[in-house]
Structures are given as C-alpha cells and as structure tokens.
Amino acid sequence: MGTLDGRVVIVTGAGSGIGRGIAHHAAREGASVVVAEVNAENGASSEKEMRDAGGTATFVNTDVADDSSVDAMVERTLETYGHIDGLVNNAGVDLEGETTAFNTETWRRVIDINLAGVFFCARACLPTLRQKGGVIVNIASVHATHGFAGAAAYDASKGGIVSMTRSLAIENGPHGVRVNAICPGYVDTPIWEHHLAQQPNPERLERLTREHHPLRRRGTPKDIAQAARFLLSDEASWITGTSLVVDGGMGAQFYEQSFEL
C-alpha cells in the first residue's frame, strides 16, 4: 500500500528534473499522475516510463503560462480520472543576467511561467480540490529567501511563490485544502547543467555549490520528491501555509563567497 493510493496528482513540468522525480515517486506511491508538460517529447517519455513501471500516468501537453492551456489540462484530468486530489506546481525556468542588460521579454517570461503559472494552476484546480479537500505543493527555491546577483527576476518569482503559498493556505484552509511550498537548494537537473555550461568558470561554480551545502553535495530530484510526497500525504494533514526548506543546510550558513554569474 502506497501513501498516495487512489489519489490523482497533477505535476507540472513533470517531463524532466525535479518534476519528473516527483511524478515518478508519486506514481510509485500509488497515485494516478497527470504529467502536465510543455515539452511533448519529455512528457510522453515520462508517462511511458511510469506506465512501464506499473504506474498510472497521463501526459497532457500544457503551457502553464497560458491560462486557457491550464484550464484545458484540468478539464482533461477530470474527464480521465473524475477528481483531483493534489497539484504540484513545479514548472519553471531559470533565466538570469545582470539587471541593466535583462530585457523586458525575458523578465515577463520568467514571471509568466514561474509565478503566473502557479496562480493559473491553483485557480483552475481549487474548485475541485475544495469539494473534498486536497493539497497544493508549490516548488519555490532558496532564492525565495536569499538574494543572488544577476537573479532579480528568478528571485522575485520564487519569493512570490512563497508569499502566494501563505495567502492560498489562509484562503483555502476552511475548505479543507492545504497549501505548502518546498524551497530546494541546488539540485542536479537539466536546468542546472544548462546554467553551469553558461558560466565563465564552471569548475569554480561546481566547487562552490558543493561547499555551500554543509552536507557537501547538491540535491537530487529524489530528495525533493520525498518531501513532496510527505506534503501530499495524510502524514502532513496539519501542515499548511509553510515552506519546507530542502537544501542540504545551504541556508543555515553565512555565504562568505558569492556565486559567480
């Protein structure tokens, strides 16, 4: 028996990285998982992998920055499974750069995907979640509480997620809906590898990211997936409106050196 048996869980950005890890862990715990993913190849691959492992999964091509796409994804979920028990808002982009060189289009893309996408998905799922109680888990970041040079848009979007989490928890608690956030440290994902490849001194950044985690390693998607599974389950039935930091101790120490852009 899994801790999520019989539950329907939507995971956005479930085609790769943290989202894929969360989706696959939820499926192993008995959930029927909706892979809400904008990249069709990644989404279909994630769905197939879960099904091949004996899980239940459905890929729905979804652009979280487009409210009509989100609404269609939720409608498809209800047509397929009849109800929704959990939503994991994971989809996001990490686009960084020095502020004076950061163009408006890129700013809007970060905010539209990372922040507006969380709002659109929550808004679309809440009417169903309120019917019998449910859970929303928002994936934020240590960037929500710590400032990093060159990351104004990303930091703003992740800080906004944490603030939105509190508001949604207060608003929906009386309806039996719990809303929490997870703030990961640096996790080995395709986004991280892409970010690392763009750096002028990737070897130094690689070393620094390990040193800035007292546990001396970056996280894995499984580390975040296990935290998400806990918040989705009844084990967290009296937890709402909070942010669970899963960062290998990164936020517990003073940064004597700053990361390079």
Which residues carry out catalysis?
154
The CA-based dihedral angle spanning residues 18, 20, 22, 27, taken in that order and rounded to the nearest 10 degrees:
-170
Give me the sign of the Cα torsion angle 150, 154, 157, 162: negative
Task: Please write down the HEC assignment for all residues of 124-192.
Answer: HHHHHHHHHCEEEEEECCHHHCCCCCCCHHHHHHHHHHHHHHHHHHHHHHHHCEEEEEEEECCECCHHH
- Give the C-alpha separation, 30 to 12, whole Å: 18
Q: Could you tell me how far CA 173 lies from the centroid of its own chain? A: 21
